[in-house]
Amino acid sequence: MRALRWLLLAAVVLIALLLAWLGLAGGHAPTPRSASKVSEATLADPALIAKGQYLATVGDCAGCHTAQGGARLAGGRVMVTPFGDIPVPNITPDRETGLGEWSFEDFWQALHAGKGRHGELLYPAFSYTSYTKVSHDDALAMFAWLQSLPPVHQPARAPSLAFPYSVRNSLKAWRALYFNEGEFKPDPAQSAEWNRGAYLVQGLGHCNECHAARDSLGGTANNALLSGGKIPVQDWYAPDLSTREHGGLEGWSAQDIVDLLKTGQSSRGVAFGPMAAVISDSTQHMTEADLHAVANYLQSLPPRAPATVATTPFDAKALTEQGSKVYAQHCVDCHGKQGEGVAGVYPPLDGNSSVTEPTGINATRMVLLGGFAPVTAANQRPYSMPPFAQQLSDADVAAVVTYLRRSWSNHGSIVRSEQVRASRHTPVD
């Protein structure tokens, strides 16, 4: 079966590659309009630079382009992917190692078409699949701000990718399958606020890059918009973002969404893991108008189909009973007998999307490694959850997480000891 799967996969890739070279593959918009030449006076406009700083913050550029302990936006970080390691480039205006020699035309081509300064295809670890929706004017503002920064000399390493991913021309096949080039087009049937939220979520915020499932080639299906998925390598699950029936945020109000993005916590839960960094570095700095626009758009996402919980002969009752004992000993003092938590201090576990997400990964990781909420201007000293990896066995963690996922109004699947064992590590950044 495995051999057959790889043969079919190879056939799909070869066909897509042939179509891409012939220029016949679907899913591509016409070649975008080229960016017009921009004068130095335009790039030096303080208003344009200020706008660009805000947009780059919304886009969380620093989240990828800044290494831990390194100079801001100077690269040096390595993105670990299932296909190999991809160094993140320096985007300060250093002439030798950054964007100092880049024109706006070069920048627009990278952001919009996923092509480097010399026309080389960029690896989709750079989220051009979302950034292609960014408007020409917003791209210009971001470029103006980046060019205004102090240059930092930080050479980039070469990618370390396995064959055939190490061959850049193989990206033609990937792009034929997954990349739809084109700016965001407002929906005239929707309000200005909805369209602003859609633009931020689909484009600059690149939310679908984490909040959608990926296949074996690292692509997302067109119908997977914000429907939730495991984040490759990092071992976290980014939830479905629909607030409607069976959605990952079912029952969340617009204010719950705004509160989480602004402060890191809401009445429905607290942000942990990769999302905590996104809030700390990006969304907490968004204007109230943009936060509400994002909430407006997310609340328009459609209902989802009911989740299918796999049946198992495993004795879930015994596991849940064991978990209730662990919960009473270690968890009840903070999270309450009914999983209600303490408003503004300890998050509720009843109806918490991090607890009920399909895989059980998030709750397992937080029990093992602790939970650390983001520090924000509105919540400068958030409470954190201590790790229990040294106190609890795999069986105990599996039991208490299963108890959380199957108690009160929660209806999640069980978590087994072998799943816990696989999560007893901290992924490489």
Q: What is the pLDDT of residues 398-409, one digit of tens each?
A: 999 999 999 999
- Write the single-letter amino acid at 32: P
276 shares its domain with 242 = yes
Question: Can you give the length of the chain in residues?
Answer: 429
Shortest CA distance to 275 belongs to which of 332, 200, 188, 211?
211
98 shares its domain with 210 = no
173 shares its domain with 202 = no
The pLDDT, as a whole number, for residue 201 is 98
Which residues are bridge partners to 120 per DSSP? none
Kindly state whether residue 183 falls inside one of the protein's structural domains. Answer: no
For residues 336-365, average pLDDT: 94
User: Does residue 36 surpass a pLDDT of 70?
Assistant: no
Q: Which of 26-40, 61-75, 187-201, 278-292 has the lowest mean pLDDT?
A: 26-40
227 shares its domain with 287 = yes
User: Does residue 325 surpass a pLDDT of 60?
Assistant: yes
321 shares its domain with 285 = no
76 shares its domain with 167 = yes
For residues 389-415, average pLDDT: 96
The pLDDT, as a whole number, for residue 156 is 86
Kindly state whether residue 185 falls inside one of the protein's structural domains. Answer: no
Kindly state whether residue 405 falls inside one of the protein's structural domains. Answer: yes
Entry pTM = 0.89
Lookup result for tokens 């690896």? 123
Question: Around Cβ 188, how many Cβ atoms within 10 Å?
Answer: 6
Instruction: Kindly report each contact of residues 5-9 with a partner whose C-beta sits within 8 Å and lies 24 or more positions away, as own/partner.
Output: 9/216, 9/217
Kindly state whether residue 287 falls inside one of the protein's structural domains. Answer: yes
Q: 383 CB contacts (<8 Å, ≥6 apart)?
A: 345, 346, 373
Kindly state whether residue 427 falls inside one of the protein's structural domains. Answer: no
User: How would you class 131 by CB atoms within 10 Å of its CB: exposed for 0-12, middle for 13-18, buried for 19 or more?
Assistant: buried
Q: Give the residue with greater pLDDT, 23 vs 426.
A: 426
Q: In the listed set 130, 147, 178, which residue is the last one of a domain according to the structure?
A: 178
Kindly state whether residue 27 falls inside one of the protein's structural domains. Answer: no
User: Does residue 427 surpass a pLDDT of 80?
Assistant: no
User: Does residue 93 surpass a pLDDT of 50?
Assistant: yes
What distance in Å separates the CA atoms of residue 366 and residue 400, rounded to the nearest whole number? 12
Shortest CA distance to 153 belongs to which of 207, 195, 197, 93?
93
Q: What is the pLDDT of residues 209-255, one digit of tens each?
A: 999 999 989 998 766 799 999 987 788 999 999 999 999 999 999 99
The pLDDT, as a whole number, for residue 164 is 87
CATH number, domain of 326, equals: 1.10.760.10
User: Does residue 31 surpass a pLDDT of 50?
Assistant: no
291 shares its domain with 386 = no
What distance in Å separates the CA atoms of residue 403 and residue 389, rounded to the nearest whole number? 17
Q: In the listed set 125, 151, 178, which residue is the last one of a domain according to the structure?
A: 178
**Cα angle at 316 between 331 and 364, to 5 degrees?**
40
Q: Give the residue with greater pLDDT, 234 vs 23.
A: 234
User: Does residue 143 surpass a pLDDT of 90?
Assistant: yes
The per-residue DSSP string of 90-118 comes to: P-S--TTTSSTT--HHHHHIIIII-B-TT
The pLDDT, as a whole number, for residue 67 is 94
For residues 360-368, average pLDDT: 95
- Write the single-letter amino acid at 180: N
129 shares its domain with 165 = yes
Q: What is the pLDDT of residues 58-79, one digit of tens each?
A: 999 999 999 999 999 999 999 9
Kindly state whether residue 24 falls inside one of the protein's structural domains. Answer: no
330 shares its domain with 290 = no
47 shares its domain with 164 = yes
229 shares its domain with 251 = yes
For residues 40-60, average pLDDT: 97
44 shares its domain with 160 = yes
Q: In the listed set 114, 145, 178, which residue is the last one of a domain according to the structure?
A: 178
The pLDDT, as a whole number, for residue 73 is 97
The pLDDT, as a whole number, for residue 311 is 55
Split into its structural domains, the chain has a count of: 3
The pLDDT, as a whole number, for residue 268 is 93
Characterize the bridge pairing of strands 229-231 and 236-238: antiparallel
> Considering the chain, what percentage of its residues have pLDDT values greater than 70?
89
User: Does residue 15 surpass a pLDDT of 60?
Assistant: no
Kindly state whether residue 211 falls inside one of the protein's structural domains. Answer: yes
Phi-psi region of 173 (alpha: psi -120 to 50; beta: other; left: phi over 0): alpha
Range(s) of the domain holding residue 147: 40-178
